[in-house]
Amino acid sequence: NSNNIEGKVIVITGASSGLGEAAARLLSKEGAIVVLGARRTGRIQSLADELTTAGGKALALETDVTDYEQVKKLVDIAIQTYGRIDVMINNAGLMPQSLLEKLKIDEWNQMIDVNIKGVLYGIAAVLPHMKAQKAGHIINVSSVAGHRVGPGSVVYSATKYAVRAISEGLRQEVKPYNVRSTIISPGAVATELPNTITDEETAQNINAFYEQYAIPADSFARAVAFAISQPEDVDINEILFRPTSQK
Ligand code: NDP
């Protein structure tokens, strides 16, 4: 079919808000079957219901990406229900920024668990299937923070640099299986992302920054749709985008 999105089975982690939710909406509108994972089941279930009512195909499953078994279950349900998996979008992430000297070690661990290990678990869950299918597309969400580091964003940036390293290595390894690997690196997009910041001064700064610069989440959804809609022999390796006004 013409858009190369219609009929594709697309699993999205972190689909309960922000970028994941926006991607689910646009891809469903374009005819994809979307399988939604997040911890807040109420939200993903009502999104799945809404997309189904609008004529789409969608299902939701409670998924904590820090638990490999849960990620595997999400992917396995997609395959049991729809027979295949075409695209995995490893989008779940959080950004509790603070200076290193604040020693927010629990938050460092949480970012490493969700932003890095969560992405690796998503890859592990789909790789055997995509290898067998000899087709597939893995999309990992990095950030402008995966390209540059600033005070307060050290651990977050480290996780997003890691996502880029993982995706680029994956891209090279999966060539024999006809699997595409795409990094999406957004700048400031208006979502609930700043809500996880517990350091007050950092929260104030980031909220002010987002209020000034952030663009709607549909920008991300269009970038994802662009990458997926390319002919199968074209792999968009990375899309880096910012609000036009963002420094
Ligand atoms: P939101 O806070 O709006 O969404 C984050 C999503 O991640 C939620 O759906 C949340 O679902 C999910 N999530 C968090 N922890 C877990 C977990 N343990 N298991 C499963 N899901 C989890 O922020 P965004 O939409 O902005 O963030 C999405 C991605 O985009 C992140 O990786 C972020 O780093 C990245 N990004 C965002 C930018 C922005 O400016 N907004 C810029 C660059 C990158 P739930 O809580 O229900 O589990």
Tens digit of each residue's pLDDT (9 = 90 or more) over 162-205: 999 999 999 999 999 999 999 999 999 999 999 999 999 999 99
Ligand 1 centre distance from Cα of residue 39 (Å): 11
Provide the whole-model pTM.
0.98
pLDDT value of position 1: 55
CA distance 142 to 164: 6
Out of 68, 82, 121, 156, which one is annotated catalytic? 156
Strands (DSSP E) along 46-186, which ranges? 57-62, 87-90, 136-141, 179-186
Q: From atom 2 of ligand 1, which residue's Cα is the shortest distance away?
A: 193
Closest CA to 219 of 241, 202, 196, 246: 241
Q: What are the phi and psi torsion angles at 230 (to 5°)?
A: -65, 155
Catalytic, 156? Answer yes
Angle made by CA atoms 51, 220, 95, in degrees to the nearest 5: 105
Fold of 9-240: Rossmann fold (3.40.50)
Among residues 93, 89, 99, which one has the least CA distance to residue 23?
89
Instruction: Look up residue 174 and give its two tokens.
Output: 């999966």
| CA of 16 relative to ligand 1 center, distance in Å | 8
CB–CB of 204/237 below 8 Å? Answer: no
d(CA 237, ligand 1 centre) in Å = 21
CA of 176 to the centre of ligand 1 (A): 31
Best residue among 11, 16, 19 to mutate for probing ligand 1, ranked by most atoms within 8 Å of CB: 19
- Atom number, ligand 1, closest to the C-alpha of residue 63: 20
Q: Torsion angle of alpha carbons 50, 190, 29, 12, nearest 10°?
A: -80
Which residue minimizes the CA distance to atom 41 of ligand 1? 189
CA-closest candidate to residue 113, choices 70, 171, 151:
70
ipTM: 0.99
Determine which residue's CA is closest to atom 8 belonging to ligand 1. 14
Under-50 pLDDT residues of the chain: none
Ramachandran angles phi, psi of 215, nearest 5°: -105, 165
Q: Give 30 Cα–ligand 1 centroid separation in angstroms.
A: 23
What are the pocket residues of ligand 1 if the criterion is a CB atom closer than 6 Å to any ligand atom? 13-20, 38-40, 63-66, 91-95, 114, 141, 143, 186, 188-189, 191-193
